[in-house]
Structures are given as C-alpha cells and as structure tokens.
Structure 1
Amino acid sequence: MLIEEDGRCKASSSAGQSPYKWQNIWHAGLPPKVKLFAWRSVWEGLPVMSRLVARGMQVDTIFPMYGEGEETTAHMILECRAASSIWRHYVLRLDTRQVDMGSFRGWCCLMQDKYKDSKWWDVFWSIAWGIWLKRNIWIFEKKERRESDILYKAMGLIGEYEEENLRENILNTNAAFHGQILGIGGVLRDDSGAAVVAYCSTKKGSFAVDVGEAIAMRASL
C-alpha cells in the first residue's frame, strides 16, 4: 500500500517488502570493486556522515557537497540535487525522489520488482558508483566532477569488464569414447594458459562424435 505524502509515494508500514535479491549484485557484469560498493550500499555500510556519527565519530551529518540535508546512503546516491539530476536526465530516466522507502535498501527492494533486467541493474550500480566517486572527490580533493564524466565512466565499466572476461577466459572441451561409455571434460584457462577450473564426467550410451562433443561443451559451461 502506498500513501501520497507531499507529492511523493511513501510505503506504509503495513506494506510487505520483498527481500533483496543479491544476484542483482553478485551476478552483475561489473568489476569486483563495484559489486562490493553495491553490497555495502544495500547493507548501509558506506561511510556516509550519518553512519560515521552512529559509529561514535564527531562529524557534521549534513551532506558535505550541498548542505541540503543529512547525508544518508539514500540521500547521497538518490536524493541530493546532483544525483537526482543524473538519474533523471541520463540513460535510465529515473525519478529517484518519487518514491520514499525510508532507506536505500528499501528503495532497492521496491525497484527490483519493477526492473528485472540484469543489464538495468548493471547500469544502475555503475552510475551509483560514479556518484560515490563524485562525492569522494569533492570531500577529499575539493573538486567538482561533471555529470558527463560520471556517465562516461559508468558505461566504460560495463564495457571494460565484459571485454576483459571475453578476452581472458578460454574454455577447452573434449569427449572420448570407450564402448558404451562417453567421457567428457572441460578446462577453463586464463590468457596465460593456466587452468582456472576443470570439469570431467562420464555418461552411458552410444553417441555420435559430434553429439558427444556437444554434450561435453554443454556440461562444461
């Protein structure tokens, strides 16, 4: 059940909330550092000002870039004027301030039921990572990063990772026949030729050579 409140939709306390689907992070086609960032974000583990205060540090909780409210994970990634502009005007065309779930995790749980395409989440986490970098550059270097730079970096992360995986990993498979026994196996190698992981098994039956090789390839994937 959603309640209208000041032009925004807010989930009522009686509304059921789906558990977060962690495969949106761990199965994403993104570098490990971005996956770790995403995981920490959903767990409210990023060192934003409100979390630092909760851990006993004496810091100002106001968002350091624009001073427009308490810096929570949701405010930093979704709600501050720079972040909301990026979400609204580029790629995903997302109005992140339309729905208020009270936490970043709550927002992600709601959105995962609406956006089920894994590629959508790859783009989302890449842009969120860029916003986090923009925030950190402002805090530690006192520099403003342009929105176009964030989008360029985000799209580059996806392309780089997919290209790297295609380039570095080679799967070799084979099939061997002995009477009514088919032996199948596969070895995944990196770009240096070193084995990363191997698989082997047997199957009973009479198979044509091309069918046996197809079975080996399928089983090894």
Structure 2
Amino acid sequence: MASSTSVCNSVVQDRIFHAEAAPRCKKLVWNAYREELPVRSLLLAKGIIENDTCPCCGKGNETTMHALLQCEEVKTIWFGSPLGLRVETMHDINTVSEWIHECVALLDKRAMGIVCVIMWALWHRRNVWVLRQKKLGFPEVMAKACSMFFPDEWIPPLYPHVKANFSAFVQDNVGTAMGVVYRDSTGAPLASATNFMEKECFEVEIAEALCYRWALERAGELCFCDVIFETDCQELYSHWNEIMKEKGNIETCYLDSLLEDCRIMLRWTRSSLTLVGWGGNKVARNIALEAFVYGERVWTEDVMDEASHFVLADATNLQNQI
C-alpha cells in the first residue's frame, strides 16, 4: 500500500508542477495536497494557538478544506471563477487532497493552472485578512489569480503586433549569453539575434533585465513597433510590475535602474511585457544558449539552424489548434 501511495503522490506532484501557473502557486497546491498549509486546525493540533475558528468567516474550524473550498465567501469566488465550480455539489469529497487528486486526473495543464492560481489567490486573500485586516473582494482575488496564470506554449500575437521572446543564461567565469526572436501573427520569424557579454556574470534577474533592455534596443533598430515582449522569468516579471506602479527604488537598486530604462523606452509605444511558461519560451532559450558560440549576431527573417526545429514545433502546434 505504501508503494502504491508513493506512486500516486508522484503522479499528482508531476501533474501539479506541469500546470500553467507560477511556481509559487504550484508549490502552494502541493503543500495543500499534503495538508501542510499553516491553517488554524493544524496550528491548534501543534499547540501553537488555542482557537481554530476560521479568521475570515468566524463560523467553522479552519481546516485546509474550509480555507480553500468551504468558507462561504470562498464558495462564491469558485463559482464566479472561469471554472464555475459549485462547491456544494462535491458530496463525495472530504479533503482538499481528494479534490486535488480528482483535478489532476480530469483536467489538462491549462485548467489545472487555473485551479492552482485560484487556490493561491484564495490563500493570499486569507493571509491579507489575517495579517492586515483587509478584505479582498472577488475582482481583486481574480486579478491576483490572473497575474499568476501563464501559458506553457507559444501563442502568436494579434496582427499587426510582433512578439519578442527573450532569454538569458549565465555561466560562471564565462559570461552572460542572450537570445531573442521576433515573430509575427503567423508565427514566422521576422528576425532573431544573439549577444554575449564575455566574463560578465550577473544574478539571474539582472541578466534577464539586461536581456530585456537589449531586446528593446534591437527592436528599435529593426523598426518593430507594437511589440509584445515575453519572458519566462517570474522574478523579472514581478519586479517589472512594481516598476510600472512606480514602487521601485530606482536610485539604489541596479535592477530597478535597468527596468526604469526599459520603461522609458516603452513610454511612447503600445508595447508590453508578458509572462509565459518555459515551454512557450523554448525558442528564445535555445537561441540564448547558442549565443555562447555565436557571440553577437543578427538573423533577418530567420533563426539559426539550431533553433529552427523549435520554431517549426511552435508552428505545428498552432496548426493543430486551428
């Protein structure tokens, strides 16, 4: 039985971590599955607190099931979500673990991603109330959830936009390599480029920010307007959103300074930065890896041979969706 349970848990973990959601959301769902979230019933059992009443509704005991599915306001959010879930119809489900098990068995990675981001947003809502006594409504919870959902496949931009996927890699004592590919609404490459900063090694977020600024500069040189820049770096994307809200400390942080440069470059355009999963950024990642070999180079209306089959795979995927 222990071996069977181990295999089952392994499959559940694999399905959760392949969902189209930010890593922090998938980690929370995995912790919820293992009943490891610090809900009040768990804290009471450990002798840390003396009362396990739900801090949000004040009516039931705060178990993982109650916090993420059964609290009355939580039920309303699930029903209003894209899943349209009616929690009250889940008669045979007694724990969150059982429900997550059902989800991974029935849902694809996109729908499972929606589950992950909503569960994360609900837990965030709960913590905001506990720590700051601020109640987040349905629009705020869903906006938070949407900010954590991102596809794991490349999606073409709407005409006449251009999509620029970029990525950076840092190899200790070697340098920082960068790659970018610009594609139109049909998925056809308009240009691609590599860059290599020899002996200059940065933290991941700095390298990605430098790559973002470099990709913006190349887009200007190539006369591309209305560009959707896309990254798979969650840290860069989160920090970018803070900069766009003008919350960054531009005077003291190099990362903020780099992103402020990017913000200024985008000021008079309709360009933007979006987040995508690793699978949706594989062309740029492959190009960036090859930058260690190619150095600084630009391909017009093409990509290097080493990345061509990834472009073809994205194009094939698009055709299959039509």
Higher helix content, 1 or 2: 2
Residue 116 of structure 1 pairs with residue 107 of structure 2: yes
- Report the CA distance shift for 1:162/1:140 in structure 2 as closer, same or farther (over 3 A): farther
Instruction: Please name the residue that 2:8 is paired with.
Output: 19
* TM-score, normalising length: structure 2: 0.47
Which of 56, 60, 63 aligns to 1:65? It is: 56
| Deviation for aligned residue 1:44 | 0.6
Which 10-residue stretch deviates more, 80-89 or 93-102? Answer: 93-102
| Deviation for aligned residue 1:166 | 4.2
Instruction: Please name the residue that 1:136 is paired with.
Output: 127
| Deviation for aligned residue 1:162 | 8.0
Residue 151 of structure 1 pairs with residue 158 of structure 2: no
Which 10-residue stretch deviates more, 90-99 or 122-131? Answer: 90-99
* Cα separation, 2, equivalents of 1:137 and 1:156: 17
Higher strand content, 1 or 2: 1
For 1:87-102, what aligned pairs fall within 5 Å after superposition?
A: 87-99=78-90, 100-102=92-94
Task: Give the RMSD, CA atoms, in angstroms.
Answer: 4.1
| Deviation for aligned residue 1:67 | 1.6
Instruction: Please name the residue that 1:178 is paired with.
Output: none
Instruction: Please name the residue that 1:51 is paired with.
Output: 42
Instruction: Please name the residue that 2:279 is paired with.
Output: none
| Deviation for aligned residue 1:135 | 0.6
Letter aligned with residue 47 of structure 1: P
Q: Is this contact kept in 2: 1:49–1:61, CA < 8 A? A: yes
* Cα separation, 2, equivalents of 1:30 and 1:138: 24
State the identity %: 23
| Deviation for aligned residue 1:81 | 0.6
Q: Is this contact kept in 2: 1:49–1:59, CA < 8 A? A: no
Give the unaligned 5+ runs of structure 1. 1-16, 173-188, 199-212
* TM-score, normalising length: structure 1: 0.66
Residue 106 of structure 1 pairs with residue 98 of structure 2: yes
- Report the CA distance shift for 1:136/1:116 in structure 2 as closer, same or farther (over 3 A): same
Which of structures 1 and 2 has the bigger CA Rg?
Answer: 1
SS of residue paired to 1:22: helix
Q: Is this contact kept in 1: 2:166–2:179, CA < 8 A? A: no
- Report the CA distance shift for 1:214/1:76 in structure 2 as closer, same or farther (over 3 A): same
